[in-house]
Structure 1
């Protein structure tokens, strides 16, 4: 069913995308302001489902690529997306009608809405992850075998790079190298989809879902309770950040975050290991939750998600975990995004709400 996204929807969308970002996808705050302005100046954006797509529609995935910590300081150029769009349409020989977030998580989840408003395009109510992951290979289209026809990157200087690689792992390697050369951050366009290739290959309804979760959070008197109910999540620990180890390595923000329990969790210590996104939560070496399930750090008082690059010593936080989209629990999904894909030797144990509630 076709609907629209209006300026007043952006605050809940941003709040929801921050939650689904699991620490990555880039901070939503500056992007929220720019997207709200784009809609105020250009009007609502049409939000369509996969079933709404017709034979003349072409969907293009758009996102930032690089280390979120770099994105705090490196602002994008107004011409980056226009350059990517023009080059994509020239290469394809047809008009791109619809934008889609590569990942619904973080700033990457909301920024295509602003670009759609500025360029008069639609937004697809879907994405390629249902959360945020650090690698371009970790998309649902790759799980089901849809090939990636090309990838493009634009940097703030004005360089536009077109890549026709033999497969998506090579696209990820080349794109990451270009993003690093471009200062650690670029804007990417890839995976042009038709109505036929989009059907059955995406995580659908994620834009609407992010708005729904954001509204539940922003309107709540008890934010943590509202989030656990809306997400089907468990609070793994509530406490204080007592150690933040963070560095930018090979185009990623990597680190280890240590939370010391307070209140009912006093005496407990939970460690989160990070590669842009929160990968695994550990307590005394025992895995509480891990990729591909979602782990998000939120402010205990407000419920606002705190992205990896904004975590600071002394923050009072709650760690939430909940189940990923079923596509990531398939053998191919786990091959791409399970613990082993990140170098862990522990087997994947699916998050279970009843088992996790203390």
Structure 2
């Protein structure tokens, strides 16, 4: 990885981040196209958004994540209103009695990586180059802040009708239960601020430079054509990743359940993988890839689907029958490989009866999976 670090977000940066965050989002985090359009419109109206680094924060600065909560399929149908983006911030500032220093994405995944940019442009405040997952996960407690015992409250939510909610939860698990129920009543999609953090807490718990990473991933995919590179090969080399399976979508089963998009997809092998098949299981995000009952990659490691021709990421809600894809995998942040991390986001939590094995170990015994040094 290079040492490139973002300093501001302009239209080109938004284009790159939207693509890169969709790769890191492992199929979830909301449609990056909608978030991209809203962020670009905000920047055109108000100008570029400044980016701050975690180490530049004062210990007593106030940083607030802003995101969307709900099923990604709903956000495709029900695009958020601008007032819905700003209301949770207004409510949390009122409750805390002070102004926010910077906004941040709670996850560097799909549209949620860009939701804070919309409000930051509107308010003239910076965005932090960090998140609390290093990818996307479906539930509120699945953040590094939770692993470090941080209080998620106060939590504020809003819908497109003008409804606003202020709630205090005893921990991230209870936040998830309460906020998910509210989200369902709000039509399956809502905006939310939670885990307000000090600069000192950010330096300890956040995963730094993930917006810069998303930018670089997007730039790699956009520029690979001009450089006459295979986009997937270039991306795997950049992220020390693995090609897991080449195939086409043969069966997709998606359902709305409990405020999530859940399901599985089956892929028939193409090219070197002809005659083989892969199953991909998801709850908003891709969580388990397996072949003949053997894991190819499993949460919390990252699994993404890339278009075989362009290398562009495909989200769970946009996966179509017949799509020709390469499934790829990347190691997760080390925080998720701790016992507490695996209890929070490992395969057993999601109901998959498979052990967590790091992707590096799984791919070392899988034929056709190749690590790029």
Q: Could you tell me how far 1:272 is from its partner in structure 2?
A: 0.3
SS at match of 2:82: coil
Contact 1:272 1:278 in 2 (8 A): yes
2:224 corresponds to: 220
- Find the counterpart in structure 1 of residue 138 from structure 2: 134
- Quick one: distance in 2 between partners of 1:251 and 1:37? 29
CA distance in 2, matches of 1:70, 1:41: 27
Aligned to 2:264: 256
Deviation for aligned residue 1:230: 1.4
Structure 1 residue aligned with 2:53: 49
After superposition, the Cα gap between the structure-2 partners of 1:98 and 1:247, relative to the gap in structure 1 and judged at 3 Å, is: same
Which residue is 1:282 aligned to?
290
> 2: CA distance between counterparts of 1:197 and 1:25?
24
Structure 1 residue runs of 5 or longer lacking an equivalent are none
Task: Describe the superposition over 1:117-139 as per-residue Cα deviations: whole angstroms up to 9, x where unpaired.
Answer: 11111111100100000000100
Separation in structure 1 between the aligned mates of residue 281 and residue 88 of structure 2, nearest angstrom: 34
Contact conserved, 1:281 with 1:288, CA < 8 A, in 2? yes
Q: Which residue of 2 aligns with 1:151?
A: 155
Shift, 1:149, TM fit: 2.4
Q: Distance in 2 between matches of 1:320 and 1:2?
A: 26
Q: Secondary structure at the match of 2:311?
A: coil
Q: 1:271 and 1:2, CA in 2 relative to 1: closer, same or farther beyond 3 A? A: closer
Q: Which runs of 4+ in 1 moved over 2 A?
A: none
TM-score, structure 1 as length reference: 0.97
Q: What is the TM-score normalised by the length of structure 2?
A: 0.93
Pairs within 5 Å for 1:234-313: 234-313=242-321
Q: Structure 1, residues 8-33: CA drift from partner, whole Å, max 9, x if none?
A: 21111111011011010011112212
Structure 2 unmatched runs, 5+: none
Shift of 1:56: 5.2
**Root-mean-square deviation (Å):** 1.3
Q: Is the 8 A contact 2:6 2:129 kept in 1?
A: no
Deviation for aligned residue 1:309: 0.5
> Which 10-residue stretch deviates more, 257-266 or 30-39?
30-39
The residue that corresponds to 2:25 in the other structure is: 21
SS at 2:313's partner residue?
coil
| Residue 81 to residue 30, structure 1, CA distance change in 2 (3 Å) | closer
Q: Tell me by how many angstroms 1:55 deviates.
A: 4.6
**What is the number of residues matched between the two proteins?**
358
Rounded Cα–Cα distance in structure 1 between residues aligned with 2:155 and 2:360: 37
